[in-house]
Amino acid sequence: MITLKNVNKTYKTKSGEVVAVKDVNLEVGKGEIFGIIGYSGAGKSTMVRLFNGLEKPTSGDVVVADNNIGHIKGEQLRKARQEIGMIFQHFNLLWSRTVRDNISFPLEIAGVPKKERQKRAEELIKLVGLEGREKAYPSQLSGGQKQRVGIARALANNPKVLLCDEATSALDPQTTDSILDLLVDINKKLGLTIVLITHEMHVIRKICHRVAVMESGNIVEHGEVLEVFRNPQQNVTKRFVKQIAEAEDASETISTLVERYKSGRIVQLTFIGDDAEQPLITQLIRKFDIAVNIVQGKVSQLQDGAYGTLFIHLDGNEEELNKALAFLQQENIEVEVINHA
Ligand code: ADP
């Protein structure tokens, strides 16, 4: 469904040339859910723009649904682009239009008669689970519902490929999961080829069949998701594997703590920097009539510098607990209350 052959993309800037994509070769099969993962600056957005014909490769071929998209223009390019649906991190909805009218907008542009547009919009609304919200405006919807509108709109023209550009990065974990479930559902029902571009490892692991890891414009590793992540060869891939291992560690910690402490509060504190936690804990103990246990703590090295996570258990009467939590929340750290025993 997608073939990239020796693709290079160089941008000319005032200070010289920037190579954004370097000699990339890639094949994505029909009906596949394919992930492209990389940190910021790896070349992911450039790949998206090459896939959907917004950028032309400096050299090489980008073939999507049998169209050599980098080498066509005008009406031919417009037609070829109809084979590609896109969803975005910030949804890109039209705020003055209802759910139904957002979804039928691409059909309006394509000159589809009103009756047909409405019928198609109804089908899509059902497919993405937005029945009853047809007349709502985007401002009245949750993030997950907005992305459902985005997905329905992307499918309006019956594309062969759905490109998802950081499509869940603005959503909370639970909503992310429900959107990913919906994408799998659509992939199965319609046999649609899906390409996900993300910097989030769990997105890849949850739904992709194969993955390509990008760094400095290159695909440095690719293959079946499980194989690539079970036996990572490159440092960048190892970092992504570590990212998911840490998330799993945290969820295991939470369930054991909830088991262990039957009263008080378990609180997760996340702070950037190294030793901000010690003075904070001392203050907690001095200021409030509560017991403070540090149950687990660790400092992780991430791309944005060190950050620490600390689980503490607070016990005492309700009033003091609430005061202590209010105090923590005023501090410049992230505070999450895990349980209310
Ligand atoms: P990612 O999406 O993975 O963050 P990008 O494709 O945005 O990566 O960027 C890859 C490289 O290309 C970066 O060095 C970036 O600064 C550069 N780049 C991206 N778009 C442009 C542009 N329009 N002009 C000049 N340089 C660009």
Residue % of the chain over a pLDDT of 90: 67
- Same domain for 312 and 198? no
**If you average pLDDT over every residue of the chain, what do you get?**
89
Predicted pLDDT at 266: 86
Q: Nearest Cα to 149, choosing from 95, 218, 219?
A: 95
- Same domain for 118 and 181? yes
For 111, list phi and psi in degrees, rounded to 5. 80, 25
CATH of the domain at 50: 3.40.50.300
Q: Which atom of ligand 1 is nearest to the CA of 38?
A: 3
Predicted pLDDT at 295: 76
Q: 83: Cβ–Cβ under 8 A, 6 or more apart, which residues?
A: 64, 65, 67, 159, 160, 161
Predicted pLDDT at 112: 94
Taking residues 318-330, report their average pLDDT. 90
Predicted pLDDT at 303: 43
- Same domain for 6 and 87? yes
Taking residues 103-120, report their average pLDDT. 94
- Same domain for 11 and 44? yes
Q: Is 206 in the pocket of ligand 1 (CB under 6 A)?
A: no
- Same domain for 37 and 169? yes
Indicate which residue's Cα is closest to atom 14 of ligand 1. Answer: 41
Indicate which residue's Cα is closest to atom 27 of ligand 1. Answer: 11
Predicted pLDDT at 307: 58
Strand order from edge to edge, sheet including 218-224: 84-88, 161-165, 193-198, 33-37, 210-215, 218-224
Domain count of the chain?
Answer: 2
Asked which of 27-31, 45-49, 62-66, 298-302 is least confident by mean pLDDT, the reply is 298-302
Residue % of the chain over a pLDDT of 70: 91
More confidently predicted of 279 and 171: 171
The ipTM value here is: 0.98
- Same domain for 310 and 231? no
- Same domain for 234 and 254? no
- Same domain for 253 and 291? yes
pLDDT of 236 higher than 70? yes
Q: Is 46 in the pocket of ligand 1 (CB under 6 A)?
A: yes
pLDDT of 308 higher than 70? no
pLDDT of 248 higher than 90? no
200-216: pLDDT as tens digits = 888 998 999 999 999 99
Asked which of 42-51, 148-157, 167-176, 295-304 is least confident by mean pLDDT, the reply is 295-304
Predicted pLDDT at 164: 96
Residue at a domain's end among 226, 243, 260: 243
Q: Which domain holds residue 313?
A: 248-340
Predicted pLDDT at 302: 47
Predicted pLDDT at 276: 56
Residue at a domain's end among 202, 224, 243: 243
Cα 111 from chain centroid (whole Å): 33
Indicate which residue's Cα is closest to atom 6 of ligand 1. Answer: 43
- Which of the four pLDDT bands, split at 50, 70 and 90, describes residue 309? confident
Residue at a domain's end among 184, 210, 243: 243
Taking residues 188-202, report their average pLDDT. 94
Q: How far is CA 128 from CA 135, 147, 237, in A?
A: 15, 9, 33
- Same domain for 222 and 137? yes
- Same domain for 330 and 225? no
Q: Which atom of ligand 1 is nearest to the CA of 47?
A: 6
CA of 15 to the centre of ligand 1 (A): 14
CATH of the domain at 320: 3.30.70.260
State which of 46, 49, 198 you would mutate to test the pocket of ligand 1, scoring each by most atoms of that ligand within 8 A of its C-beta. Answer: 46
125-177: pLDDT as tens digits = 999 999 999 999 999 999 999 999 999 999 999 999 999 999 998 888 889 99
Other CB atoms within 10 A of residue 246 CB: 13
More confidently predicted of 206 and 245: 206
Q: Name the DSSP class of 31.
A: T
- Same domain for 227 and 276? no
- Same domain for 257 and 237? no
Indicate which residue's Cα is closest to atom 13 of ligand 1. Answer: 41
| HEC profile of 169-205 | CCCCHHHHHHHHHHHHHHHHHHCCEEEEEECCHHHHH
Please identify which residue in the block is written with the tokens 């992504």: 240
Q: Is 42 in the pocket of ligand 1 (CB under 6 A)?
A: yes
Q: Which atom of ligand 1 is nearest to the CA of 18?
A: 26
Other CB atoms within 10 A of residue 133 CB: 18
Q: Is 13 in the pocket of ligand 1 (CB under 6 A)?
A: yes
Indicate which residue's Cα is closest to atom 10 of ligand 1. Answer: 43
Cα 100 from chain centroid (whole Å): 25
Q: Which two tokens stand for residue 116?
A: 């047909």
